[in-house]
Amino acid sequence: MCLPVDEAKGKFDSMVADSTASKTSTNNAIDGSTSAAEVKATSNALRGGLADLLSTKDEVVAEVMKAPKRRVDNVITHLYDSVCVLRMHTRICQDLRQRYNRHYWDCKYQELGLTTGCVGLTTAIWYAGHAEALAAASSAGPWSLEAVLGSVVAGSIFGIGGLSWYNGVKLRAHESNLMSNDGLSSSFQSCYRREVREGDEYVASLWQRIREPLQSSLDQMGGLSKMPSSTSINYDNEVDRLSSILEKDIPSLRRIVAPATGSSRDK
């Protein structure tokens, strides 16, 4: 229990006197004589210990009185950590979405190219079949124009459908690969290449904390295909806003509470 300084000093002075008197009485009872120098040395030793105890007590009381203000500093530290976690989530999700989109549009361009080729081939056959010379030749041959066009259209439909199915299988496999541990680690290393190269332990600890929750969140969401695209959410702006909080707002809060807490940290 912390006592006021004056009250504590008075009580400890009384304790010193009682202890000295008790020791003097005990020594007199044992050998019948105690020198005044011994009594004075004992009293000085006890008073020195009392001074150290009071000084330590004052330091403890001062730190206890600073506890509410230090709690504010701890809240700012928690805010900094939370913003770092959120920014890492955003950057990793942005990279995953970009990787998925690149593969998605590669598949769509393949389908669009095949569709364009099939339409062009069908159109060319139709125009060629209506030319006078080719029309006469086609009517005399075993294949009529309608049969040729039907075969081309049927082959085009089966080809485009088969390519769409194959690309869908590839896209789902690519999505699963991106959401795996290796895929997430690759995305992390891509987004934090400099920190990984420098061996930043804080960034590594953040990644260890969010990797499994991020993977679980993507699974519950239904995969990367269900994630909002960059057209609905500007990931770059979100990352910039979070970086501004880390680089400007939080250091400003640190400077505000630093005189009260004695803290000089910027992060």
Separation between Cα atoms, residue 125 and residue 141, nearest integer Å: 15
If one compares 35 and 217, the residue with the highest pLDDT of the two is: 217
What is the rounded average pLDDT of the residues 202-226? 88
SS3 126: helix
Please give the C-alpha separations between residue 202 and each of 52, 169, 170, 193, 195, in angstroms, as whole numbers. Answer: 40, 38, 36, 14, 9
CA dihedral over 23, 29, 31, 33, signed as positive or negative: positive
Binned at pLDDT 50, 70 and 90, residue 19 comes out as low
Using CA atoms, how far apart are residues 237 and 67, in angstroms rounded to an integer? 37
Where in the chain are the domains? 5-21+35-65, 97-243
The SS3 assignment for 34 reads coil
Residue 50 · residue 16 · CB < 8 Å: yes
* pLDDT per position as a tens digit, 55-114: 676 666 666 666 566 677 788 888 999 999 999 998 998 899 889 989 999 999 999 998
Q: How many CA atoms lie within 13 A of 7 on its CB side?
A: 4
Task: Read off the pLDDT of residues 123-174 as tens digits, 9 standing for 90 and up.
Answer: 887 777 665 445 555 554 555 667 777 788 888 889 888 989 999 999 999 9
Q: What is the pLDDT of residues 174-198, one digit of tens each?
A: 999 999 999 999 999 999 999 888 8
Condensed to tens digits (0 to 9), the pLDDT of residues 255-267 reads 887 765 555 444 4
